[in-house]
């Protein structure tokens, strides 16, 4: 590989070579710009928080100290939050897929009755929303405040994602394929289940990724609707640890603010690593589908 590059270099003109090195230098700079914050997070998570705050840590950790991580792993709330987030993500994403893929497929078929009206029905929700207050009253009257399902059901379907699925099917599934299935005697459901689904892996993978990342990172609905600590997702637990300046219910004195902020600063970086690791790990697994299908499918 290196040899090849060298060989190619020798055939290039001086100007080309210069350009080449310029590009490499520029890209290295960009890579550093992107990698440095990640690196900083890693070293800050094992350093003394006072040193981090006084600007004494910037390239190498001043000590290797895992007490921040020890605190993270010893905190039962973080574990409950972790468990809950995994549950919300698994159950929620499953529901999303069950709703989005069939809906997208159905809307992609020109012979769907009332297709135009159904489309408008969905599109309207993309431009107009009731706002938070009516939404709160709705949820409250459905009796879903402070329940597990409030984080699952109202976010069941993203119209944007559904249209992406629809576009995928419109451009990737030929009418002949469906006709062939029907000639063989398959019903609509059978066609979808046995013919369409097996060739939908790329779009399903992409949808799983989109929904799962969204679910993993979401906090606002949980903040508004979840009250019991046993139901907190990880993001809310982290917010409660990191954001300590709000004290409507009383009397934190300076020392405690300092202790809590110190704790927050000590575990902040570790917590960011711990909480984003699962999502970072998913990317390589689904990346090949991105290359294969997703872009080809919807934006051809």
Partner 1 sequence: MKKWFGLLTIALVSLALVACGQKPSGPTKTLDELGYNPNGLPIVQEVVEYTIISPKNALAINYNDMDIFKKMFEDTNVKIKWNNLSEETFSTTKQMIIQDTRNLPDAMYHAGFSDRDIIQYSAAGTIIALDQYLDNMPNFKKILEERPDIQKVITAPDGHIYALPRVEEMGLLQHPNILFINKDWVNLLSSQNLISLNGQALRVSIEGGNLEDTSTESNIQLKPLVITVNDQVVNGFTLAQYEAILRAMKNNASLLTSANLIPLTFRFGGWQGNQSDLYGAFGVPENIDHLTVVNDQVTFTAALDKYKQATNFFAGWIEEGLIEKDVLTQGEFDLLAKGKGSNPRLGSFYWWEKETVIKPEWQSQYVALPPLIGPDGKQNIGVSNNQEISKGNFVVFSKAQNPEILLTWIDRFYDPVISAQINYGPIGIAYEEELNPDGLLIQKPIPDGMTADELRLKNAPMGVIYLSYEQWENTLVMEYRARLRLALLDVYIKPYIMEGVRQYPNVSFNLSEMNTINRYGTDIYSYVYQSTTGWLLNGGVTDSEWNAYVSKLNQMKLNDMIRAYQSAYDRYE
Q: Which residues would be at the binding site for partner 1 (CB under 8 A)?
A: 49-51, 53-54, 56, 114, 117, 132-133, 136-137, 140-141, 145, 223-224, 226-227, 229, 236, 239-241, 243-259, 261-262, 265
3-state DSSP of the chain: CHHHHHHHHHHCCHHHHHHHHHHHHHHHHHHHHHHHHHHHHHHHHCCCHHHHHCCCCCCCCCCCCCHHHHHHHHCHHHHHHHHHHHHHHHHHHHHHHHHHHHHHHHHHCCCCCCHHHHHHHHHHHHHCCCCHHHHHHHHHHCCCCCCHHHHCCCCCCCHHHHHHHHHHHHHHCCHHHHHHHHHCCCCHHHHHHHHHHHHCHHHHHHHHHHHHHHHHHCCHHHHHHCCCHHHCCHHHHHHHHHCCCCCCCCCCCHHHHHHHHHHHHHHHHHHHHHHHHHHHHHHHHHHHHHHHHHHHHHHC
The least CB distance from residue 283 to partner 1, in Å, is 30
Q: Which is nearer to partner 1, 63 or 194 (by Cβ)?
A: 63
Q: Which is nearer to partner 1, 261 or 296 (by Cβ)?
A: 261
Q: Which is nearer to partner 1, 225 or 294 (by Cβ)?
A: 225
Q: Which is nearer to partner 1, 191 or 235 (by Cβ)?
A: 235
The least CB distance from residue 197 to partner 1, in Å, is 30
Q: Which is nearer to partner 1, 137 or 160 (by Cβ)?
A: 137
The least CB distance from residue 262 to partner 1, in Å, is 8
Q: Which is nearer to partner 1, 20 or 71 (by Cβ)?
A: 71
The least CB distance from residue 254 to partner 1, in Å, is 4
The least CB distance from residue 240 to partner 1, in Å, is 4
The least CB distance from residue 28 to partner 1, in Å, is 32
């Amino acid at each position: 590989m290196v040899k090849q590059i060298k060989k190619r270099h020798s055939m290039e003109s001086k100007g080309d070579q210069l350009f080449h090195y310029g590009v490499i230098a520029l890209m290295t700079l960009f890579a550093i710009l992107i990698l440095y914050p990640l690196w900083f997070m890693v070293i800050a998570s094992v350093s003394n928080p006072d040193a981090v705050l006084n600007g004494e840590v910037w390239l190498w950790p001043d000590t290797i100290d895992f007490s921040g991580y020890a605190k993270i792993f010893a905190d039962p709330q973080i574990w409950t939050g972790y468990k809950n987030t995994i549950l919300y993500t698994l159950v929620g994403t499953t529901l999303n897929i069950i709703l989005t893929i069939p809906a997208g497929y159905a809307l992609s078929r020109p012979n769907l009755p009332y297709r135009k009206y159904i489309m408008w029905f969905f599109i309207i929700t993309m431009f107009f929303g009731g706002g938070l207050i009516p939404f709160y009253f709705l949820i409250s009257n459905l009796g879903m405040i402070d329940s597990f399902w409030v984080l699952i059901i109202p976010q069941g379907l993203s119209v944007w994602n559904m249209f992406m699925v629809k576009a995928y099917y419109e451009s990737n599934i030929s009418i002949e394929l469906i006709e062939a299935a029907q000639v063989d005697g398959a019903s609509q459901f059978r066609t979808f289940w046995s013919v369409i689904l097996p060739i939908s892996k790329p779009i399903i993978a992409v949808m799983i990724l989109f929904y799962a990342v969204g679910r993993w990172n979401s906090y606002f609905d949980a903040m508004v609707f979840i009250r019991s600590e046993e139901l907190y997702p990880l993001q809310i637990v982290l917010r409660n640890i990191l954001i300590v300046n709000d004290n409507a219910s009383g009397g934190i004195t300076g020392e405690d603010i300092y202790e809590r902020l110190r704790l927050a600063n000590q575990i902040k970086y570790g917590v960011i690593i711990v909480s984003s690791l699962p999502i970072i790990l998913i990317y390589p697994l689904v990346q090949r589908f991105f290359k294969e299908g997703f872009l080809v499918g919807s934006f051809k």
